[in-house]
Amino acid sequence: YVLREKGTERAFSGDLWDYHGDGIFVCAACGLPLFDSHTKFESGTGWPSFYQPINPFNVKEERDSSLGMIRTEVLCARCGGHLGHVFNDGPKPTGLRYCMNSVSMDIKPRDSVFMHKP
């Protein structure tokens, strides 16, 4: 529902919102590396939040005007899976908050992820 139909999981319901370990967050559908755990921060929203993607080419951003508001949707650049949205209220150094759905990602050990472009 989330990855393919652009749904949103309930806040504080996913497995990764409070994950504090080390690793690489990858797309749950295709395995593309998306975020480094070093860029994850506690946003208080109940969704995993990051201040930047691992590689800007690995995510795609599109205008989302659903639900009567204008937001920026974040998609996996390889498979097009819906990951979440990005907002301009994040911490330094970027000021961005990539608010992702836990169900859209898996966490992998750093040394098991091949870093490549989509």
* Tally of domains in the chain: 1
Q: Is residue 114 part of a domain?
A: no
- Is residue 117 domain-resident? no
The reply to whether 92 falls in a domain is yes
Q: Is 116 inside a domain boundary?
A: no
18: number of CA atoms within 13 Å, CB side?
5
What is the distance between the alpha carbons of residues 72 and 98, in angstroms, rounded to a whole number?
Answer: 10
Residue 118 lies in a domain: no
pLDDT in tens, 97-109: 999 999 999 999 9
- Find the CATH number of the domain harbouring 91: 2.170.150.20
Hey, which residues are catalytic here?
A: 99
Residue 60 covered by a domain: yes
Distance CA 75, CA 61 (A): 6
Beta-carbon contacts of residue 9 (< 8 Å; ≥ 6 apart):
2, 47, 101, 102, 103
pLDDT of residue 99: 97
Task: Name the residue range of residue 18's domain.
Answer: 2-109
Q: Give domain status of residue 102, yes or no.
A: yes
Q: 100 with 35: CB under 8 angstroms?
A: yes
pLDDT digits (tens, 9 = 90+) for 26-81: 999 999 999 999 999 999 999 999 999 999 999 999 998 887 888 899 999 999 99
Q: Where does the pLDDT of residue 117 fall: very low under 50, low under 70, confident under 90, or very high at 90 and above?
A: low
